[in-house]
Amino acid sequence: MTYLVAAAERRSAAELPAEPARLRRDFRRFNLPVQLALAAATDVVPAAEDPASMAVVSLAPCQNGSPELYRWAEAALAAGSAGRFGATRMNPTHTLHVIDNLALSAFAIAYGSDGYCLGVGGAPGQAWCGMEILCERLAGGREREGLLMAGDQTRVADATGSRGVALLFSAQCRPYAALGRPVELVAIEHARRRSPSPVTAHAAAGLCDFLGAVARQGAGPFAYEVPAEQSDGTDHVTLVLRVA
């Protein structure tokens, strides 16, 4: 069984966590989506029994990069069209803004992760795959807790729509901090759509909306229909939950 026990959402890097110190030092090297994912993860870690041994699944941004990298790419494209691509220079730190697994690595360094760690790619709908993977891990008894974190942005040019989110799951029945009651994730069901539907590529937005729906629930069974645009466009996804 899988229970949602804590969650956090971040929309601003104004107050990044000061601890762990190692993470604080590394923050400046990341783009905003990765910063926000890590900040949200840091918010929920205190609810974990043993952060080092829990399963960690990190969703890569669907919109990688940063305003700094975007400006460089624009300049490079202009230089390239004039046959002067090689004249452009990149700040090495900005190269990191496109690497897909850095949130996971930074988290592992900060918290000494020695359990299952997986980076899931930035394709539409992969958030539900990440959640499914954690359910499999907890159901298999391989870990007792699992963290899912994601950060993304709507537009790379100015990092608008940046959000970070983290969800902590446990195999033990514990109350969800936001409701004060246990929230069990019973199943994740898939049904193939007759035809593909349009999707919105944002790794964190779907999880944030899901948390909003959970927060509005009273006791009892609850089926959360993932909006089509937040799925992978191929499957209809339903999260089956039970609020105690």
DSSP reduced 3-state for 135: helix
Q: Which of 37, 62, 150, 204 binds other proteins (CB under 8 A)?
A: 62
Cβ pair 40, 149 in contact under 8 A = yes
Q: Which of 12, 91, 160, 172 binds other proteins (CB under 8 A)?
A: 91
> Is 201 among the residues that bind other proteins (CB under 8 A)?
yes
Cα 191 to Cα 160: distance, rounded to the nearest angstrom: 33
Q: Which of 1, 13, 16, 96 binds other proteins (CB under 8 A)?
A: 96
Cα 113 to Cα 28: distance, rounded to the nearest angstrom: 21
Q: Where are the alpha helices (DSSP H) in 6-146?
A: 21-26, 32-44, 67-81, 92-95, 102-111, 126-139
Of 128 and 210, nearer to other proteins (C-beta) is 128
Show the binding pattern over residues 98-137: x = contacts other proteins (CB under 8 A), - = does not.
xxxxx-xxx-xx--xxx-xxxxxxxxx-x--x--xx--x-
What angle is formed at CA 123 by the lines to CA 118 and CA 128, rounded to 5 degrees?
65
Binding-site size, other proteins (CB under 8 A): 61
Residues of the shown chain interacting with other proteins in the complex, contacts defined by CB under 8 A:
26, 29, 58, 60, 62-65, 73, 76-77, 80-81, 83-92, 95-96, 98-102, 104-106, 108-109, 112-114, 116-124, 126, 129, 132-133, 136, 140, 190, 196, 199, 201, 232-235
